[in-house]
Amino acid sequence: MMRQYELVERVLRYDPDADEALLNRAYVYAMRAHGNQTRASGDPYFSHPLEVAAILTDLKLDDATIAVALLHDTIEDTEATRAEIDKLFGHEIGKLVEGLTKLKKLDLITSKARQGENLRKLLLAIADDVRVLLVKLADRLHNMRTLGAMRTDKQERIAQETMEIYAPLAGRIGMQDMRGELEELCFEILHPEPAKVIKGRLEEIRAKNGAVTNLIEQELSERLHAAGIDATVTGREKRPYSIFAKMQRKQ
């Protein structure tokens, strides 16, 4: 589990003016509030908000958002109150934490026929501040990464909800890497056999053609450089779920 100073250092690397005292207070408060709570995996519950905060540091979000990530489950899952959060961390952070608590309580129906309604509910809930959505998406991403400890039926329900609601939302706000990871995690749960077959085939192709691809990239880079063009040539491997979705559309 990431230590307090490690989280603060991660934020300071991209934001030297970040409020260290705020981050330290949020870390200690959330850790104490969650106390001996554990997750389904048996891990300390505090490991979850800490990982959510870490995901958001990768996106270089501001110190207030990182603090909210640490605190995001305190009102719902501990004895913490909005008034106490406001007093210790300020009205802005209190409002964001409460927004996440309300978002969790939305009646999200994972039927494809109701997908538009679900999206509208979510968007309305986070309309005041997009940071609520960013924390929620990071929360869902970590939950998807750690679904293995849950019953199969619960894994499938959460994966279906994620595929229909949260992955598209991530894409809509330009977070394509997060959307891609969410889709891949859902794909492995909802369609394990096709996922296994496609991944295996991609590994075969990578082993067979990897060297050729590297040579092509190198030659293109050299020709561009010789022509006085400053450019970087890279390849992008299609994701397994993207391949599966394309195959489904063509059937």
Please give the Cα distance from 86 to 95 (Å, whole number).
Answer: 8
How confident is the model at residue 214, as a pLDDT? 85
> What domains does the chain contain, in order, with CATH numbers?
4-190 (1.10.3210.10), 194-250 (no CATH)
% of the chain with per-residue pLDDT over 70? 93
What digits encode the pLDDT tens for the residues 4-46? 999 999 999 999 999 999 999 999 999 999 999 999 999 999 9
This prediction's pTM: 0.88
pLDDT score at 122: 72
Q: Which residue has the tokens 């809930």?
A: 125
Residue 130 to residue 173: CA distance in whole angstroms: 9
Q: How far apart are CA 45 and CA 1, in angstroms?
A: 11
Q: Which residues are catalytic?
A: 76-77
Q: What is the pLDDT of residue 206?
A: 84
Sign of CA dihedral 113, 115, 116, 120: positive
- Which segments within 23-150 are labelled E, that is strand? none
Alpha-carbon distance of 197 to 139, in angstroms, equals 29
